[in-house]
Amino acid sequence: MARGDQIYVFQKFLNFEGVYQHHGIDCGDGSVIHYRKKT
């Protein structure tokens, strides 16, 4: 991955595929900024 790449993972939630998602941005130094929408 490169700096600025978007990372995303789909997770199961109560046995439903793809309902819950994690998104983040690669910082290029081995760390990731986690993206979260306001609820």
Per-residue confidence in pLDDT tens, the chain, 39 aa: 899 999 888 877 787 776 777 889 999 999 999 887 776
Contact 21, 35 (CB under 8 A): no
Q: Report the half-sphere exposure of 38 (CA within 13 A, side-chain side).
A: 0
Q: Where are the beta strands (DSSP E) in 1-39?
A: 6-13, 16-26, 32-35
Query: What pTM, to 2 d.p., does this model score?
Result: 0.61
